[in-house]
Amino acid sequence: MLGVLGGMGPLASAQFMLRLTLLTPATRDQDHLPAVLWSDPRVPDRTAARLAGGEDPLPWLVRGIRGLEAAGCGAIAIPCNTAHGWYEGMAAATKLPVLHIVDAAAEELARQGIPNGRIGVMGTAGTLAMRLYQERLEGRGYDCIVPDEAEMASLVSPGIALVKANRVAAAYSPLAEAARNLKARGAAAVVLGCTEIPLGIQAGPHAEIGLPLIDTIDALALAALRWSGHLPA
């Protein structure tokens, strides 16, 4: 049984559960992966914790892990990129395997025929400041480029906020513009490294952006299905 540590944000967690179901090769209910979603939107803001001295989210994250352990889960997936800034603390708090969303994104890049090279990474200010993608992917041979401060302030952060406010359609324009800017700077693909970003991008004609977009919700769902044996490793 998969444990899903969610609520960061609630819509992204719900989308993860939807995609986990739709990506499963199944013909009946019993073919699907048992899963428990712990959706707790009270977890303190991860970006504020990292950049502005806000409340530490780790105790709340560990509380969710304890609930998933008690439910009998065998592994944990976290459909929130910025929460992975506390990955080591979470992994140390449990004997269960904790799937890493950046590793899942790297596997999806390789699956789409991009094993290395220059790629764009979009995410929250906290995710990019912690270099969660840059450090982990550069070790695999990727050259990561990210939006500049002006693009973060005017495009990416407002787009994420619109999704969190359930204004998903309005998020498409700023997020797509940021992705196109990374393409213009030579990115062969763009990793949508915040689980709100795929929701906003997919609300508009995302194919017109013209390069592979790595949906980290889907990537994490596929990693979970490989863990469970529903897909080949």
Q: What is the mean pLDDT of residues 108-121?
A: 97
Q: 149 Cβ partners below 8 Å, 6+ apart?
A: none
Instruction: For 75-88, write each residue's pLDDT tens digit.
Output: 999 999 999 999 99
**With pLDDT > 90 as the criterion, what percentage of the chain qualifies?**
100
**Helix/strand/coil (H, E, C) string of 203-226?**
CCCHHHHCCCEEEHHHHHHHHHHH
Confidence at residue 83, expressed as pLDDT on a 0 to 100 scale: 98
Residue 182, C-beta contacts closer than 8 angstroms, at least 6 positions apart: 120, 122, 145, 146, 147, 190
Amino acid (1-letter code) at residue 130 = M
Instruction: State residue 152's pLDDT score.
Output: 98
Tell me which residue of 122, 142, 137 sits closest to 192, measured CA to CA: 122
The token pair that represents 189 in the structure block:
């693909």
Distance CA 178, CA 45 (A): 23
pLDDT per position as a tens digit, 23-74: 999 999 999 999 999 999 999 999 999 999 999 999 999 999 999 999 999 9
Structure token pair of residue 58: 């780790």
Give the model's pLDDT for residue 118.
98
Domains, the chain, in order of start with CATH, read 2-100+218-228 (3.40.50.1860), 101-216 (3.40.50.1860)
73 is catalytic: no
Query: Of the listed 182, 194, 222, 223, which one is catalytic?
Result: 194
pLDDT digits (tens, 9 = 90+) for 17-34: 999 999 999 999 999 999
Q: Is 133 helix (H, G, I), strand (E, B) or coil?
A: helix
Convert 43-70 to b/e letters by CB count within 10 Å (16 or more is b): bebbbebbeeeeeebbebbbebbeebbe
Can you name the residues that pair with 77 across neighbouring β-strands?
A: 4
Q: How confident is the model at residue 120 (pLDDT cuts 50, 70, 90)?
A: very high
Beta bridge partners of 123: none
Question: Among 17, 35, 80, 121, which one carries the catalytic annotation?
Answer: 80
Q: Is 194 considered catalytic here? A: yes
